[in-house]
């Protein structure tokens, strides 16, 4: 068994066993080329590539994504080997925290993560929202997030540290919106996906129902005007029922302290 950096010729081998990972298929085919360019795309090879995993290193954080093992070689600890290799690289970079996202119903992956020392840090919900023309909203642009109020936001399905630097950048690009019709304000951060075309990814910190619905109506209209095909909302809260808003899946955000 060898763990090494991926190369272009690995793609076909990997995609062969990444077609039906989920009931709807898999996204590896859409992100492979991006991840290959970013680096830290690891391949587990046993004569042929039988596993893959990608790591993203940012400020004091390792983000682990895309763990896939050929179904003929599962339950042998190979996924753990890939994760451990990325953790070792993180420790060399003096990174203290590792995160990964796991479907709450994916019990084998949850067991693997817990055996490696990961704990459930937060639970997040994924909603899809259809763009449509809608003028029934009242929102404002600007940063209403207090220091350390929210540790992360979602960027291309990665939970990225939210700090003063990133907040200033997001505010300068008008990517932070809020509604404050009562004391329980709702805030959203908007990001166009780097990997999926015409997809808007929204991190929503929901306060009250009236504030959240104002943001949802704005997002529908914003998506319509900007020609987005999909609006994907990630939130820790349960959102109010609304036409064209559908809860898709829930995730455990898993965390491990590396030192």
Domains of the chain, by residue range, sit at 2-95, 126-252
146-182 pLDDT tens trace: 767 899 999 999 999 998 899 999 999 999 999 999 9
For 20, phi then psi, to 5°, come to -125, 40
The DSSP code sequence of 94-156 is: T--EEEEEEETT-HHHHHHHHHTT-EEEEEEEEEEE----------EES--PPTTS-SEEEET
Average pLDDT over residues 73-77: 91
Q: What is the residue-averaged pLDDT of the chain?
A: 94
Say whether 213 sits in a helix, a strand or coil. Answer: helix
CATH topology of domain 2-95: Aminopeptidase (3.40.630)
């Amino acid at each position: 068994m060898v763990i090494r950096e991926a190369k272009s010729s690995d793609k076909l081998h990997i995609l062969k066993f990444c077609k039906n990972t989920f009931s709807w298929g898999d996204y590896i085919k859409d992100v492979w080329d991006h991840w290959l360019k970013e680096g830290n795309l690891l391949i587990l090879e046993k004569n042929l590539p039988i596993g893959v995993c990608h790591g993203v290193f940012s400020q004091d954080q390792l983000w682990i994504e895309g763990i896939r093992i050929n179904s003929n070689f599962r339950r042998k600890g190979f996924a753990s080997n890939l994760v451990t290799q990325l953790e070792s690289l993180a420790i060399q970079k003096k990174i203290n925290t590792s995160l990964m996202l796991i479907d709450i119903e994916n019990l084998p992956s949850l067991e693997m993560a817990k055996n490696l020392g990961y704990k459930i840090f937060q639970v997040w919900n994924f909603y899809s929202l259809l763009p449509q023309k809608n003028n029934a909203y009242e929102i404002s642009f600007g940063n209403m997030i207090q220091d350390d109020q929210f540790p992360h936001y979602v960027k291309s399905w990665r939970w990225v540290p939210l700090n003063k630097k990133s907040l200033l950048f997001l505010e300068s690009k008008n990517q932070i919106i809020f509604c404050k019709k009562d004391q329980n304000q709702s805030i959203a951060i908007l990001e166009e996906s780097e990997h999926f075309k015409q997809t808007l990814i929204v991190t929503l910190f929901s306060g009250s129902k009236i504030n959240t619905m104002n943001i949802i109506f704005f997002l529908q209209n914003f998506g319509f005007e900007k020609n987005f095909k999909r609006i994907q909302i990630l939130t820790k809260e349960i959102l109010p029922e609304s036409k064209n808003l559908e809860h898709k899946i829930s995730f455990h955000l898993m965390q491990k302290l590396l030192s």
